[in-house]
Amino acid sequence: MYHFSRSIYRELAPDILEEDRHCEGPNNHERVLRSCEACVERLATDWHYFARPTKTLFNDIRIYFPMSAQLRVYKIVDRYMTFARDYFASNPVAERMECRATTRRGTPCQRTPLPHNGYCPSHQHLAETEGIPIAA
């Protein structure tokens, strides 16, 4: 999973704006890397509910780049997020090891999901109701 986020960062690193080091905390390079990792991790674990990963990541990191590099940054992010989305779609069990359902207590189900729908054997009944419209 991290090879996607690290690849994005490596390609974007030369264009990241440097900042004055008068304050404590993470620098711009670390912020960009953490944003890339968080976005790819969310895509890997919650891909059913992550509608626009490219837009999300680009909006998170665009402030760390000059205006002249914005188009290049968007194209790089879009290319790698498309690769990641295709990879996670073709390898459903490779990175997603949690069921999409929640338990009665409201915590995420920890069981391994089946590859065809993302639910564990105990929660297969939830997959059957996904396509049914809710009556008002």
Q: How far apart are CA 50 and CA 44, in angstroms?
A: 10
Tell me the average pLDDT across 34-50: 85
Q: What is the model's pLDDT at position 22?
A: 62
Q: What is the model's pLDDT at position 107?
A: 84
Beta bridge partners of 102: 108
> Would you say residue 129 has pLDDT above 90?
no
> Cβ of 71: how many Cβ atoms within 10 Å?
9
